[in-house]
Amino acid sequence: MQSRIIFRSSRLAWLFIKEQLKEPIALFWIIISPCAAFYLLALSRGWMNSVSGDYIEHTAWFYAYISSNVALFGFSFYIIGRRESGYIRSFIYNHEAKRIFILAQALAYSVIAMIYCVVFYLATRPPFGAYSTLELLSIISRFYICYLLFCSIGIYFSFLPLNFQNANTLFSIFSFALLILGLSGSLSTTPLLKAVNLGNPLLHATELIENGFKRKTTFTLLTLFLFVSSLLITIKFLRINPVWSRY
């Protein structure tokens, strides 16, 4: 029973991966644009002339932001998208089908998230020196925990009665707000901003990537618990009917 579910989920996940990689716009915004933004920022600050400091320290914000984008606009958005297209109502009609679908979705976008992380590392590491396998593995593990955090948040958004346009707008506003609050908090010592940023997941994700698991152990464990519980809740309460459907 379990082996059959895993096998079918893996096959479906492979279809989801191929579907995602065929979308050039998504590839551009999630892979190429962060790399371009990194180098533009580096040029504006003069980093390219004499790069110094720790690579992870300079790129932590970028990794956190990429993880949030893959989770929100990939994993979570496509749960809503497949519901609104009628896919879920047509094929996900019992508990086992829900388990297969959610597991496939999680597997597919985990692979995609890792691809984005590795590509960004390969594109931005050269100015700081030689590649390091141990460093890459460390970044991937931290990045993946951040990705799971934003997947958990996105899962709860998927419970809302959202269509394609509303979901895209909501995720864009949410992502932009987190980014602005985080950047404002790093440039200002205002008590109000500090208090607001205590609940900013993007800021916590950045700190995890920069500082590692030892200083964010509780945060890491809470993220894992939140993700697992979110998946279980989704399997039970996944919305089947599109917003436009009367049935």
Please say if the pLDDT value at position 158 is more than 60: yes
Number of domain units in the chain: 1
Asked whether residue 205 is assigned to any structural domain, the reply reads yes
pLDDT tens, position by position, 161-174: 888 788 889 998 99
The pLDDT value given to residue 208: 94
For the segment 5-26, the average pLDDT, to the nearest whole number, is 82
The pLDDT value given to residue 34: 81
Radius of gyration of the chain (CA): 19
Given pLDDT bands bounded at 50, 70 and 90, which one contains residue 48?
low
Instruction: Mention every residue, 6+ apart, whose C-beta is less than 8 A from residue 74.
Output: 20, 26, 30, 109, 112, 113
pLDDT tens, position by position, 184-241: 766 667 777 778 778 889 999 999 999 989 888 999 999 999 999 999 998 888 877 6
The pLDDT value given to residue 166: 87
Instruction: Mention every residue, 6+ apart, whose C-beta is less than 8 A from residue 157.
Output: 72, 76, 80, 167, 170, 171, 174
Asked whether residue 156 is assigned to any structural domain, the reply reads yes
Asked whether residue 245 is assigned to any structural domain, the reply reads no
The pLDDT value given to residue 64: 93
Asked whether residue 58 is assigned to any structural domain, the reply reads yes
Cα–Cα distances (Å) from 2 to 9, 85, 99, 103, in that order, read: 10, 28, 10, 12
Given pLDDT bands bounded at 50, 70 and 90, which one contains residue 139?
very high
Asked whether residue 243 is assigned to any structural domain, the reply reads no
* Residues 166, 188: Cα–Cα separation, whole Å: 32
pLDDT tens, position by position, 82-118: 887 777 777 777 788 888 888 999 999 999 999 999 9
Domain range spanning residue 60? 2-237
The pLDDT value given to residue 205: 93
Asked whether residue 198 is assigned to any structural domain, the reply reads yes
Given pLDDT bands bounded at 50, 70 and 90, which one contains residue 144?
very high
Please state the pTM of the whole predicted model: 0.89
pLDDT tens, position by position, 52-90: 568 898 889 899 999 998 999 889 988 888 887 777 777
| DSSP letter, residue 223 | H
Higher-pLDDT residue of 20, 51: 20
The pLDDT value given to residue 47: 58
How far is C-alpha 61 from the geometric centre of its chain's CA atoms?
A: 13
Asked whether residue 242 is assigned to any structural domain, the reply reads no
Asked whether residue 87 is assigned to any structural domain, the reply reads yes
